[in-house]
Amino acid sequence: MRIDIITAVPELLESPLGHSIVKRAKDKGLVELVIHNLRDYSTNNYRQIDDAPYGGTSGMVLMIEPIDKCISQLKNERDYDEIIYMTPDGETLNQQQANKMSLFTNIIILAGHYKGIDERVRELHITKEISIGDYVLSGGELGAAVLTDSIVRLIPGVLGDETSALSDSFQDQLLAPPVYTRPAEYKGLVVPEVLRSGNFPKIDNWLQEQALLRTKARRPDLLDE
């Protein structure tokens, strides 16, 4: 899978996407991440990418030309499954969407900044708009990193243990059960006996029961869906 991320602040993406599982996926050749600095696509000598909004409202708006130039160039090179714009007024990201997108071949993620992007970019290129939650970030970069991470870890072969993404919270509309590691006892807190019993059918039942109890207590809305 190839993910092209377009941003005015590439530095904000380098660290979140340069470590851990995403790095492993890149090293294994399972994902190609290409970060594009919007300033490289500026159409004037000042590397300008933003301008004041029409109508006299406050803040700055990302201009259409650099974004169009970058996306058009990418679209000429290959076909894209989706061209996604990160925005608080998009559809809220969930695990089902991440699952679906992990099967795509090529996507573009556009991170906005300042007051937003010229509305005409949406009409011209954007096929999907995603929010990572009902709060406003300073830019779409952290959202783009969240979206990329949620997708990349689901690409087949990325996680060593193939079952481990399947047991994540939300994967079957249930929160994940509690997990423990050594020592078996710490400051009087003990690991549940069943997990140390070696009886795997019993352990499996216990884990399912705990997932259900936790979901009922914390996110009953998931069970209604």
Residue among 66 and 112 whose Cβ is closer to ligand ADE = 112
Q: Is residue 88 at the binding interface for ligand ADE, with CB under 6 A as the rule?
A: yes
> Least distance (Å) from ligand ADE to the CB of residue 132?
4
Q: In the beta sheet, which residues pair with residue 35?
A: 5
* Token reading at 51: 């301008």
Q: Is the peptide bond before 53 cis (omega within 30 degrees of 0)?
A: no
**Burial class of residue 186 in the structure, from the number of CB atoms within 10 Å of its CB (0-12 exposed, 13-18 middle, 19+ buried):** exposed
Among 107, 137, 159, 175, contact with ligand ADE (rule: CB under 6 A): 137
Contact region with ligand ADE (CB under 6 A), list: 41-49, 68-76, 100-108, 135-143 = 135-143
Q: Is residue 136 at the binding interface for ligand ADE, with CB under 6 A as the rule?
A: yes
- What distance in Å separates the CA atoms of residue 26 and residue 158, rounded to the nearest whole number? 9
Among 102, 131, 148, 215, contact with ligand ADE (rule: CB under 6 A): 131
Cα torsion 66, 72, 77, 81: sign: positive
Given a contact cutoff of 8 angstroms between Cβ atoms, the answer to whether 41 and 67 are in contact is: yes
- What distance in Å separates the CA atoms of residue 21 and residue 123, rounded to the nearest whole number? 34
> Least distance (Å) from ligand ADE to the CB of residue 9?
12
- What distance in Å separates the CA atoms of residue 125 and residue 118, rounded to the nearest whole number? 12
Q: Is residue 133 at the binding interface for ligand ADE, with CB under 6 A as the rule?
A: yes
Contact region with ligand ADE (CB under 6 A), list: 45-53, 55-63, 136-144, 159-167 = 136-144
> Least distance (Å) from ligand ADE to the CB of residue 118?
16
Q: Is residue 62 at the binding interface for ligand ADE, with CB under 6 A as the rule?
A: no
Q: Is residue 66 at the binding interface for ligand ADE, with CB under 6 A as the rule?
A: no
134 φ, ψ (degrees, to nearest 5): -85, 65
Q: Is residue 132 at the binding interface for ligand ADE, with CB under 6 A as the rule?
A: yes
Footprint of ligand ADE (CB under 6 A): 86-88, 112, 131-133, 135-137, 140, 143
